[in-house]
A = this chain, B = another copy of it.
Amino acid sequence: MTYCVGLLLNDGLVMLADSRTNAGVDYISTYSKLTVWEQPGERMISLMTAGNLSLSQSIVTMLNEGLPNGDGESVTMSSVHSMTEAARLVGRAIREVRRLDAPALKESGIDFEVSFVLGGQIADRHLRLFLFYSAGNFIEAGPDSPYFQIGELKYGKPILDRVVTVETSLNEAAKCAMISMDSTIRSNISVGPPLDLLIYRRDSLKVDARMTLAADDPYYKMISEGWSGGLREAFDKVPDPDWV
């Protein structure tokens, strides 16, 4: 399983992904699910992936190596001119890998299942955030719905719904994403650290912070331990009923 969350804020973009991959409970491994295409001063594009690892790796490879643009040339995530074009390219790559792999998977009784979150900005264009489905279709985040989640999303949704608006600062949004991730990790053992975090300031056109947080990272540990205590305190503050 996987949990990834991407937040589109007035100040910029926060993307957080776990890195646990499993083929059954008896085969657990670690793969980064966050890919970045950066040309400082020109573009910062980031993609997070969930679903079948063989499919998401094939799709990312295709985005690196390029798809034909019809004029005998190749388009890659490093050459697209806008985030709309980037989103179309991701959709095309999903459909191309579906065409190549879905029939054989189906013969083995495996569904073609992937979901992606794509965020980024190119030159003087808008910063944008997209969510992709297995058919290669996609939706875009807006001010009323400023975040997208993929993978095991339910455990970590309540805190996002209660805290995040487009006006949330980048550091606060990263903190909220970490708490959302921690709730998920506690409830689903197939989601786990290290965590890949990326923070992008709107218009900076470069990665402003990127880190890999292991289970013993001091801030992650503080979140993980501190949040339980904070929740417990909040719980104690709500008056008890006197039903019995």
Q: Which residues of A contact B (CB under 8 A)?
A: 12, 154-155, 157-159, 161-163, 169-172, 174-176, 178-179, 183, 186-187, 197, 199, 201, 208-209, 211, 219, 222-223, 226-228, 230-235, 237-244
Contacts and interface: CB of A to CB of B under 8 A. Distances in A.
A157 B223 CA distance: 18
Given A222-B239, A233-B234, A238-B223, A244 B163 contact: no
This chain: copies in complex: 2
Nearest to A219: B241
A156 to B, nearest CB: 8
A232 B238 CA distance: 13
A241 B179 contact: no
Given A162-B228, A175-B238, 9 more contacts: A155-B155, A155-B158, A158-B183, A172-B240, A199-B243, A201-B244, A219-B241, A223-B238, A227-B234
A242 B170 CA distance: 9
A171 B232 contact: no
Contacts of A222: 238-239
Contacts of A232: 162-163
Nearest to A228: B162
A48 to B, nearest CB: 18
Contacts of A199: 243-244
B179 A235 contact: yes
B235 A163 contact: yes
A159 B235 contact: yes
A162 B234 contact: no
B242 A171 contact: yes
Given A201-B244, A231-B234, A235-B230, A161 B179 contact: no
A237 to B, nearest CB: 5
A228 B161 CA distance: 10
A174 B243 contact: yes
